[in-house]
Structure 1
């Protein structure tokens, strides 16, 4: 994660537009929260920041890239594919974080650095085939895959994801699939639930995965409203949208 101080975040944007200045200030506030939460948790490793840009224009991604942001998250393939094509000149990484239909795997494999919402065997099989095709065509790197874990009592009822009891079989399948790299686990805290309790459960699942797959050390957890709880329980990646970008643009 890129760490920006006040002067660094705002340097070079005075001659830019007001939106860039706004984004720089918002980014600085979020990074201060991340630093404070990391220190409070007794950690020295800052989690990586993935800025979720869904429904926001490609121009905002370009602005944020000038502020040092490299990682961006999208949850709809059509929008992600369009932005990645429009911004092909930027050195950024795209993370697909939405529920993925198997039929979209071919498209996602063209631009995604990671897929953070793997939750069933069919998706793994589709991604394996799609990545193999892209490797032949473009020589792309292995695709990082996170298993989305449901932390709801009824798996998938609200936020999506696999049941904790299903995670190991999915992990083994990803680990044995050429072109795919088992990166770790991902989750969203259940609506209305205590995020600390939820992310504590995710930490247990992560430890179980690492016991058999030591390389799968990633824990993608935490959004604008609960990043402190996620950091407390070991998040290595945070997915932050509204606190950096503001409200979604009006449609129409």
Structure 2
């Protein structure tokens, strides 16, 4: 019998328009759940806890998976994240982006990266403002090793559906201005508005796997 996750995966895939891809946010879920979804054809998985992800990667190394780092990236973990992930969604400042570029160059890696933008006040999140990103853009483009693919944003809690859509549309317009092809926008509670605003990567966890299981990151 297929699991609920398998049914949800098929249902979500059927709803996504062309150009919108599903990033299965597997943080807090066991490797067995990832393997089950992978057998259906899912290849991109998102994790935010480094050590938890490393354990899963070791257990699933027989599969050809693409690992995305979606958590807040601490400067002291940049090297380990660059080694373990091919895509990073959360470069939220010049200092962090420059450090990631330098370390990626040292490691001989060229991760795809998203620049995290904060377009509404939110004390719980970091990110570039539009003005700061536009000002730094020439220097960002000259950094070695990084392949800047797009922008990532998250909607603050408490916004209406229309306000979330306006936020996502603003992020999409900024990506267009910078000629970036990707937008990492939308999670389980707001992915419909994100899709309508041009998201190309939807970060879906509970909508796919169900409630998260507590996992310690030692």
TM-score in terms of structure 1 length: 0.78
- Distance in 2 between residues matched to 1:83 and 1:169, nearest whole Å: 39
Which has the higher Rg, Structure 1 or Structure 2? Answer: 1
Superimposed CA distance per residue, residues 33-86 of structure 1 (whole angstroms, 9 cap, x where no aligned partner): 33xxx4xxxxxx240100001111111111111011000011122222222232
| Aligned counterpart in structure 1 of residue 126 of structure 2, from 123, 142, 160 | 160
| Aligned counterpart in structure 2 of residue 75 of structure 1, from 48, 51, 59 | 48
**Which gives a bigger RCO, structure 1 or 2 (Cα 8 Å, sep 6+)?**
2
- Distance in 1 between residues matched to 2:142 and 2:160, nearest whole Å: 35
- Distance in 2 between residues matched to 1:33 and 1:190, nearest whole Å: 25
1:159-198 to 2 correspondences below 5 Å: 159-198=125-164
Give the equivalent residue in structure 2 for 1:105: 78
The answer to whether the 8 A contact 2:28-2:214 is kept is no
Q: Does 1:31 align with 2:19?
A: no
Give the equivalent residue in structure 1 for 2:112: 144
- Distance in 1 between residues matched to 2:164 and 2:138, nearest whole Å: 24
| Aligned counterpart in structure 2 of residue 223 of structure 1, from 161, 184, 187 | 187
Give the equivalent residue in structure 2 for 1:234: 198
Q: Which runs of 5+ in 2 are unaligned?
A: none
Superimposed CA distance per residue, residues 164-210 of structure 1 (whole angstroms, 9 cap, x where no aligned partner): 22222454343211110111111111101024433433433443343
Give the equivalent residue in structure 2 for 1:7: none
Call closer, same or farther: CA 1:210–1:250 in 2, change over 3 Å. Answer: closer
SS in structure 2 opposite 1:204?
helix
TM superposition shift of 1:123: 1.1
Call closer, same or farther: CA 1:223–1:205 in 2, change over 3 Å. Answer: closer
Q: Which runs of 4+ in 1 moved over 6 A?
A: none
SS in structure 2 opposite 1:110?
helix
Call closer, same or farther: CA 1:201–1:249 in 2, change over 3 Å. Answer: closer
- Distance in 1 between residues matched to 2:167 and 2:4, nearest whole Å: 36
RMSD across aligned positions (CA): 2.1
Give the equivalent residue in structure 1 for 2:208: 244
Superimposed CA distance per residue, residues 187-246 of structure 1 (whole angstroms, 9 cap, x where no aligned partner): 1111010244334334334433433x42x1111111111111001111011000001111
The answer to whether the 8 A contact 2:149-2:182 is kept is yes
SS in structure 2 opposite 1:191?
coil
SS in structure 1 opposite 2:149?
strand
